[in-house]
Amino acid sequence: MWPTNSSIVDADTGDSFRYNYSTAFTADGAHDIVSEFVEACEEGGIGAGLYLNIGMNMFMDIGANSDSHSIEPTGRFQACWDENGANQTLLPGQVKSTIDSYYDTFKEHLVELFGGRYGHDFVEVWLDGGYPEELGEFIADLIDKNQPKAVIFQAPNWDVSKHSGNSVRWAGTETGHTPEEDMWSTVSSSQQGEQGDYGYGPGVADGDVWMPAEQDAPIADGYDYGGFWYPGQDPKNLTELMSEYEDSVGHNSNFMLELSPDRDGAIPDSNLEAYTMFGEALDRCYRPGGVGVVASSDGFRCDSKIGCSIPISAATEVDRVRLSEADSTRSIRAYEILVGGDVVASGKSVGRCRIIRLPVMLKPDTEVMVRFTNATDVPVLKAIELLNLYGDDGCM
């Protein structure tokens, strides 16, 4: 993927030679695809980020026997080690290496990628599957010093003193829908390394480590494709994409919508069209001042920790409520949405953004009461908004 000066040590012979994997896949063996990618992002006004899977390297015969990142949906990623670690037949072009020598090689790769050769403005470093514990401190130190703007997905966090300050955690699914509605921006350091079925999942309300959730999903319709391109795949429809946005961003999480270039290096037209329609719908429906935001109360501070109630209404139909806490507080621990004195929805976390789908379409001029029933401090709201997506004159 880029011209590298790193080396490999053959586990059988002890010979050291230059890492030279990418040349077989470029026309003249000299392309720096990372540089071309970063330059293209700069020209398009898009922040660049890089995906790495430290736990798997087919070339160096490292990693689990896994289907998850195979080049064909039904193929094997590799089949070179049995469950007891015994070496089986290497595939053509593979090199046998030890874990220690692999770590040394990968450290060289990390320095080349993030040490400044491609600038210091990466916006995300995606560590798929996390990272080996042995490299945690090295990765955190390298990225924090050289890529201060980068969000690090599944970043080193085994020891708070070595914790990367820009970390985000895996929300727990790759479907666009968070595993739980109440997602918190913090986790507990006492739970680090005990990820369970959903990674750090919903987090904890009063955690001592700031690590917001990031929810990823492919643009392709069908989970088996993951974020990778395959012939004949179709993008998700707009209704599903809007649902994923509300179940990720609207659940106090980041949202990463994945797509990949085809074999010609181009983004398929159908995917571009889906992205364009999705972006236009987000602008219409959720942007302050957009068609979908039909009422807004900005910058509201409660006068008490518990029992604070805020009325709001709109001259149109309403099917959603959006809440946003001020960044400096994040004190809300429970809320209720009332219509006509009845509780129609409730939840716990609010954070940066909480979108609540109402069980019924509200008629114009219906008063909605937002009540906070538990908080660690006086709630401070950046905004309380009523939305109209699917009603008359709605944004959809």
Q: How far is CA 57 from CA 98, 275, 296, 310, in A?
A: 12, 31, 51, 55
Going from the C-alpha of 319 to that of each of 118, 148, 247, 368, the distances in angstroms are 46, 40, 15, 11
Q: What pLDDT is attached to residue 163?
A: 56
Looking at residue 20, what is its pLDDT?
67
At residue 166, the pLDDT reads 79
Residue 295, CA distances (Å) to 15, 321, 341, 367, 368 in order:
69, 10, 20, 11, 11
Instruction: Identify the pLDDT of residue 63.
Output: 66
One digit per residue, pLDDT tens: the chain, 396 residues?
Answer: 778 888 888 877 888 887 765 555 555 556 788 999 999 999 999 999 999 888 777 777 776 444 433 333 333 344 444 455 555 566 676 777 777 888 898 899 999 999 999 999 999 999 887 777 788 888 888 988 999 899 888 876 545 445 566 788 888 888 999 999 999 998 887 765 444 444 568 999 998 888 899 999 999 887 565 677 888 888 999 999 999 999 999 999 999 998 888 888 888 999 999 999 999 999 999 998 899 999 998 878 888 888 888 889 999 999 999 999 998 778 999 999 999 999 999 999 999 999 999 999 999 999 999 999 999 999 999 999 999 999 999 999
Instruction: Determine the distance from the C-alpha atom of residue 6 to the mean position of all C-alpha atoms in its chain, rounded to a whole number.
Output: 30
Whole-angstrom distance, CA of residue 319 vs CA of residue 388 = 5
**Tokens 């919903």 correspond to what residue?**
202
Q: Are 332 and 357 in contact (CB under 8 A)?
A: no
| Assigned fold of 293-387 | Jelly Rolls (2.60.120)
pLDDT at 192: 57
Tell me if 7-286 shares its fold with 293-387.
Answer: no
- Distance, in Å, from the CA atom of 223 to the CA atom of 234, rounded to the nearest integer, reads 12
Give the per-residue pLDDT at 332: 95
Give, in order, the Cα–Cα distances in Å from 303 to each of 34, 71, 275, 359, 378: 53, 58, 42, 29, 7
Is 3.40.50.300 the CATH classification of the domain at 7-286?
Answer: no
Say what the pTM is: 0.86
Residue 198 has what pLDDT? 40
Give the model's pLDDT for residue 77: 40
DSSP letter for each residue of 185-210: SEE-GGGTT---TTTTTT-BTT-SEE
pLDDT reported for residue 162: 54
pLDDT given at position 65: 47
Is residue 51 within 8 Å of residue 40, measured between CB atoms? no
Domain ranges of the chain: 7-286, 293-387
* Helix/strand/coil for 174: coil
Contact 132, 103 (CB under 8 A): yes
